[in-house]
A and B are shown apart, each in its own frame.
Chain A
Amino acid sequence: MATEHLPLLHQLPSTLVALLLREVVNYDWKFPAEREDLDRQLVYLGALSMAQRQEAMAGFAQIHLSSDLEHFDWVGDPVEYSERLTAYLWASHQIDVFRAAALEYGRRVDAMRTPEHPAVSPLGIVIVGQGVKTTPKPLCRKLRKQGAYFSAIQPDNGFKVLLDAVAARAAKYPVRYGHWYIDGGASASNSEPGLVSISYSSLAPARAAILKRMEKVIRSGAGGPELLHEQMAKLQPEDMGLGGAGSDPILDHFQASLLSEGSGTQLFSTSFVQWAAREALRRAQPVTLLARFSPRQRQRPMSELIASPQQEPTLDPQGSLVDADMGAYLTWLNQQRLPFADQSSFLVWWEDQREAVAIGPGMPRGTESSSPLRLSELLIQIT
């Protein structure tokens, strides 16, 4: 693909083309939505006349690069180039110039976009509060303003109801990588057709492998966090024990990136679920997303670390609920950044409890209901 567009790439400012090339290099591991986005960018750029291209690239062209960056082999190593570029943009106080140029570029590319209407309106479901029965603070304060708060949900088998509903959507509206289930514990899905399922627990060996790698780099003393992140960014799924016969290489690369590029995803299941949901929405643009938060390990205070350095971690369900509450809000925000967000629905349910918040085209904002309602009935209302 890069070869095919080489003449075009040579005409672009290096600040943009290196970043584009980094995406092109990984084209084979990208979700269909990402590939379409990249294709769209190349079509847009290729359709411009010379004068139009110069005008469109003016923002990037005004960025001054150091001699090192100008002579860097960004074709050979676009990953390292983008790391160095961003560092340089900050140091040279040009990060805001780059940001403005990138936002304008994105606006122009998106203006060309005519997204196809999905077969079904997008639906996001977030399950929070596993193992918690009470909380001192109201749940979902930010999201309540966007939809309706329900205080009398019948919670029996709630998780199964939601998972079954998601599986049914996946079966009825088959879309490649279009339906997702992310679990902060162990996955409860039995390989439902059309449903992408990832879980924090299933990645335990990969997490251990990446933590071991990180320790090795650190102990070598070869460099600081910058080197560490450069090296993490270059890791392949097989470096973490992912992949193998029968696995999906696109999903393997996705899961590897969650651990190598995410912060805290290796250690906290709540961080994993929130980041995985964000990346799934950003990259795969699914029509269905079910994200279930589970209790993360407890952050031990200094006094405990001193007293018992090797103690096995315990769980922090209350802290995890606070994490998940914010995680639900961020997931909704990320859903709103996708096409047809105005037709999307979003549900947050406190696992095994009676509270939920529902947002959707038919849901009046800022309202409350104390009428008994089954989750299945609520789903019908919002979808």
Chain B
Amino acid sequence: MTSGRLRKHRALSVLQFRDCSTSGTNHPCGGKAPLPQRRWLIRRGVSTEGSTAGLSEVARAVSWSRREFLRAVTQAGTAGALSVFPRQGGTGTPRRPKVVVVTFGGGSRDDETFMPEGQQNIPHLLTELLPRATFFAQVVNRGILGHYVATASLATGVYERFNNFAAVPPENPTVFEYFRKDLGRRAYDAWVVAPSNGFNRIGESSNRAYGPGLGAGVILPKRLLNAALTSGAGASFDHLLRDNYETPLYTPALSGSEIELQQLEEILKVSVTDFTAHARNLASPDELSVYVSRQLMRQFAPGLLWITLHDIDIAHSGAYSLYLEGIQRSDRLCAEIWNAIQNDPEYAGRTTLFILPDFGRDSDSEAGGNGFQHHRTGDAFSRTTWMLVMGPGVRENVVIDRAVESIDLVPTLGALLGFSPRWAQGKPLPEVVS
């Protein structure tokens, strides 16, 4: 099985574009370094190799920068030695907890988000969400940096290895299957909303212990929209489906459990007319996804809702302004989702929200990459991101310094909701579940 994209420049480019300059006086980091390749991989006095140890060092440095800035902005405290904070219980009849996961997807860098020069792009995260959240400043993704396979890895708790562009299910059980099978939840209680067409098989794995019928429903809003717009219209709206920005024309063929147009009214309780009318007022596919997500919340109040945002991935086109717009929009949409949770009686006071990127993007200093444009190099900056957690029982305004892994998400959800993710390889995060 092959992996995700970006292969071409990855192996070859490391050989091709090296630091050949003879002195470091004009280098971004100033001064000379003992080895040319390390020259721009030095940040706050930490150098990196291509090894796991080097990855950890740079990841720590990134985390240090990010968390120090955050403390200055939010006056957040430090989670020191592990301590037990009792979850706040509800009054009256216990209500089942719910979880919403939002992938701040497409990949974003610290430079354009949490670092001082990037904060202007995330005002909602910084001022509305972070003060109410536990913020993990160092979440490392050690797997394949392709969007579908990385998001599937988040959803299974295992670094999946399948072809990022193939319409195949994950090999390991997904969080949706664990949730439904262990807790006896019905089909409408777990949903995935994803604007990217390649995600249609993410709801359910090929694992024989779980198998078909136990996963989440998957809604691809752009597919719905295309079907709604073209029904009887005779026109083609294929251009709406393009979301692989490295290959802007690509529209993969789909198979699997996707919601058909005729179920639009049945599932979302929205007529084709209303759906298209609403879409005509939206700027982007992610806005459409949030609209669909809110419809699901109203109709089914699912206990596990997974929303994949993807507008940020326009960065692959090389247009920096569009990448920034994607971040700004994702920031706003995250706040909208939280507000929707807080204003919905089925969700308010019982829902934990997790927001995390699938991975980062290449650093400017990596010669084999092209800065923000891609996530090809596998360097520490493309692998190190963050996670924001908020909800009942979650400590507020706290920054967690220690390194965790992206595959820790599923075990954490398991501990939170009461299911056992047997195949997941991460660990529950005690700062969330204790």
By a beta-carbon cutoff of 8 Å, the part of chain A in contact with chain B is 19-20, 22-23, 82-93, 95-100, 102-103, 105-107, 110, 113, 115, 141, 146, 211, 214-215, 218, 221, 224-226, 228-229, 233, 261-268, 270-271, 274-275, 278, 282, 296, 299, 301-303, 305-307, 309, 316, 318-320, 322-323, 325-327, 329-330, 333, 336-342, 344, 359
Contact B287 A336 (CB under 8 A): no
Whole-angstrom distance between the alpha carbons of A91 and B2 in the complex? 6
Residues in A neighbouring B282, C-beta threshold 8 A? 301-303
Q: Which residues of A contact B163 (CB under 8 A)?
A: 224, 226
Give the distance in Å from the alpha carbon of A113 to the alpha carbon of B18 in the complex: 12
Tell me whether B319 and A225 are in contact (CB under 8 A).
no
B374 at the interface (CB under 8 A from A): yes
Given A90-B144, A296-B319, A322-B320, are A263 and B246 also a contact pair (CB < 8 Å)? yes
Q: Evaluate contact between B318 and A100: CB separation under 8 angstroms.
A: no
8 contacts between A and B (CB under 8 A): A90-B144, A103-B14, A224-B166, A278-B370, A326-B371, A337-B18, A337-B20, A340-B21
Q: For the complex, what is the distance from the CA of A188 to the CA of B40, rounded to whole Å?
A: 36
In the bound complex, do residue A88 and residue B2 qualify as a contact, i.e. CB atoms below 8 Å apart? yes
Interface pair A342/B23, CB less than 8 Å apart: yes
- Which of B117, B367, B370 is within 8 Å of A141, CB to CB? B117
Q: Which of A89, A267, A270 meets B11, CB within 8 Å?
A: A89
Digitize B40-51: 1 where CB-to-A-CB distance is under 8 Å, 0 elsewhere.
100000000111
Interface pair A330/B370, CB less than 8 Å apart: yes
A330:B20 contact, CB within 8 angstroms:
no
**Interface pair A323/B320, CB less than 8 Å apart:** yes
Please report the C-alpha to C-alpha distance between residue A296 and residue B321 in the assembled complex, in whole angstroms: 11
Residue of B235, B283, B318 with most partner-chain A CB within 10 A = B318
Q: How many residues of B contact A (CB 8 A)?
A: 94
CB B296 to nearest CB in A, in angstroms, measures 20
The answer to whether B249 has its CB under 8 Å from any CB of chain A is yes
* In the complex, the 3 A-B pairs of residues with the closest C-beta atoms, listed nearest first: A271-B318, A100-B50, A86-B7
Q: Tell me the bound Cα distance from A261 to B55 in angstroms.
A: 29
Asked if residues B319 and A319 are in contact (CB atoms below 8 Å), the reply is yes
B52: A residues at CB distance < 8 A: 96
Of B97-105, B208-216, B250-258, B413-421, the segment with at least 4 beta carbons within 8 Å of chain A is B250-258
What separation, in Å, do the CA atoms of A32 and B384 have in the docked complex?
Answer: 39
* Closest Cβ neighbor of A325 among chain B residues: B320
Q: How far is the CA of A160 from the CA of B145 in the complex (A)?
A: 45
Bound-state Cα–Cα, A319 to B166, Å: 34
- Chain B positions within 8 Å of A84 at CB level: 2, 7
- Measured between beta carbons, the chain A residues less than 8 angstroms from B11 are 19, 82, 85-86, 89, 98, 102
The reply to whether A99 and B2 contact each other, CB–CB distance below 8 Å, is no
Report B-chain residues with C-beta under 8 Å of the C-beta of A309. Answer: 235-237, 239
- List chain B residues, Cβ under 8 A from A326: 320, 371-372
Closest to B281 in A: A303
- Is A229 touching B8 in the complex (CB atoms < 8 A)? yes
CA distance A90 to B142 in the complex (A): 10
Taking the closest CB of chain B, its distance from the CB of A226, in whole angstroms, is: 6
Whether the pair B318, A96 counts as a contact (CB closer than 8 A) is no
Whether a CB of chain A sits under 8 angstroms from the CB of B373 is yes
Q: Cα distance A265–B16 when bound, in Å?
A: 20
- For residue B10, CB closer than 8 A to chain A, the reply is yes
A99 pairs with B321, CB closer than 8 A: no
User: Is the beta-carbon distance between B370 and A306 smaller than 8 angstroms?
Assistant: no
Q: Is the CB of A322 within 8 A of B18?
A: no
Using known A-B contacts A84-B2, A113-B20, A225-B247, determine if residue A333 contacts B319 with beta carbons closer than 8 Å: no
B202 within 8 A of A: no
Measured CB to CB, the closest approach of chain A to B153, in angstroms, equals 12
CA A352 – CA B15 in complex, angstroms?
40
Task: State which of B25-33, B82-90, B403-411 sits at the interface with chain A.
Answer: B25-33
8 additional A-B pairs beyond A87-B7, A91-B3, beta carbons within 8 Å, are: A84-B2, A224-B166, A225-B250, A226-B2, A299-B319, A301-B283, A303-B280, A336-B28
CB distance from A252 to the nearest CB of B (A): 20
Tell me whether B5 and A225 are in contact (CB under 8 A): yes
- Nearest CB in chain A: distance from B218 CB, A: 19
Complex CA–CA separation, A120 to B130 (angstroms): 53
Q: Are B316 and A264 in contact (CB under 8 A)?
A: yes
Q: State in angstroms the CA–CA spacing of A326 and B378 once bound together.
A: 22
Contact for A224 among B28, B225, B250, B372, CB less than 8 A: B250
Q: Are A228 and B322 in contact (CB under 8 A)?
A: no
A82 to B15, CA, bound (A): 12
Which A residues are in CB contact (< 8 Å) with B283? 301-303
Compute how far the CA of A86 lies from the CA of B7 in the bound complex, rounded to whole angstroms.
5
Q: How far is the CB of A124 from the nearest CB of chain B, in Å?
A: 12
* Closest CB in chain B relative to A70 CB, distance in Å: 16
Chain A nearest CB from B310 CB (Å) reads 13
The answer to whether B2 touches A305 (Cβ under 8 A) is: no
Residues of A within 8 A of B64 (CB): none
Q: Is B393 an interface residue (CB 8 A)?
A: no
A305, B40: Cα distance in complex, Å? 41
A306 engages B279 (CB within 8 Å): yes
Query: Contacts A218-B251, A306-B229: A224 and B314 contacting too (C-beta < 8 A)?
Result: no
Which residues of B lie under 8 Å from residue A266 when comparing CB positions?
Answer: 248
Which residue of the partner chain A has the closest CB to B371?
A330
The answer to whether B244 has its CB under 8 Å from any CB of chain A is yes
| Complex contact A301–B21 (CB within 8 A) | no
Q: How far is the CB of B344 from chain A (nearest CB, A)?
A: 26
Q: Is the CB of A22 within 8 A of B377?
A: no
Q: Which residues of B contact A274 (CB under 8 A)?
A: 318, 370
- Collect the chain B residues with CB atoms within 8 Å of residue A105's CB: 15
With A96-B50, A270-B319, A323-B320 as known contacts, state yes or no: A264 contacts B22, CB within 8 Å: no
CA distance in complex: A177, B402 (Å) = 50
Knowing A106-B15, A337-B367, the reply to whether A224 touches B252 (Cβ < 8 A) is: yes
For the complex, what is the distance from the CA of A23 to the CA of B21, rounded to whole Å?
22
List residues of chain A with CB within 8 A of the CB of B15.
19-20, 102, 105-106
B37: interface (CB < 8 Å): yes
